[in-house]
């Protein structure tokens, strides 16, 4: 099992599809370590419409969304949601992952501010 970290709204829409965070995303893209490459630019293969996107660990999420943006993300109604997914249902890029949400188990959802990986 792979633990995946994802930013999404209460309806399960990711931070890019919720429509709530574009100004935050643009600022974070300018300040993040990795930028925000598309799946193609990130070298990801094998993903399709049944996949949703996240990060293989919290450190990878921080490279896209540094702590100075966490309060704004929380205020926009986006939460840190953690999934367990069998690795056979995960496509890996250099700075992100995609996973088949039909085979994912949601194990936690909480505000991003204050989260400490265990």
C-alpha 21/C-alpha 59 separation (Å) is 20
88's tokens: 């056979």
**Per-residue pLDDT at 91 exceeds 70:** yes
Lowest mean pLDDT among 23-27, 41-45, 110-114: 23-27
In this prediction, residue 30 carries a pLDDT of: 65
CA distances from 85 to 18, 43, 51, 89 (A): 22, 20, 12, 7
**Per-residue pLDDT at 112 exceeds 90:** yes
Chain segment 43-76, per-residue pLDDT in tens: 999 999 899 999 999 999 999 999 999 999 999 9
Cβ atoms of 90 and 99 within 8 Å: the answer is yes
C-alpha 70/C-alpha 75 separation (Å) is 9
Residue 24 banded pLDDT, cuts 50, 70, 90: confident
% of the chain at pLDDT higher than 90: 71
Cβ atoms of 71 and 23 within 8 Å: the answer is no
The stretch 66-92 carries a mean pLDDT of 95
DSSP state of 69: G
Averaged pLDDT of the chain: 90
pTM above 0.85, yes or no: yes
């Amino acid at each position: 099992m792979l633990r995946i970290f994802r930013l999404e709204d209460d309806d399960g829409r990711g931070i890019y599809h919720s429509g709530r965070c574009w100004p935050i995303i643009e600022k974070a893209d300018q300040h993040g370590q990795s930028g925000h490459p598309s799946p193609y630019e990130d070298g990801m293969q094998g993903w399709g419409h049944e996949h949703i996107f996240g990060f293989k660990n919290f450190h990878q999420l921080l490279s896209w969304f540094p702590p100075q943006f966490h309060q704004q993300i929380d205020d926009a109604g986006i939460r840190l949601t953690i999934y367990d997914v069998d690795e056979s249902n995960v496509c890996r890029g250099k700075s992100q992952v995609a996973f088949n949400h039909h085979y994912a188990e949601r194990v936690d959802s909480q505000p991003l501010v204050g989260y400490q990986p265990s």
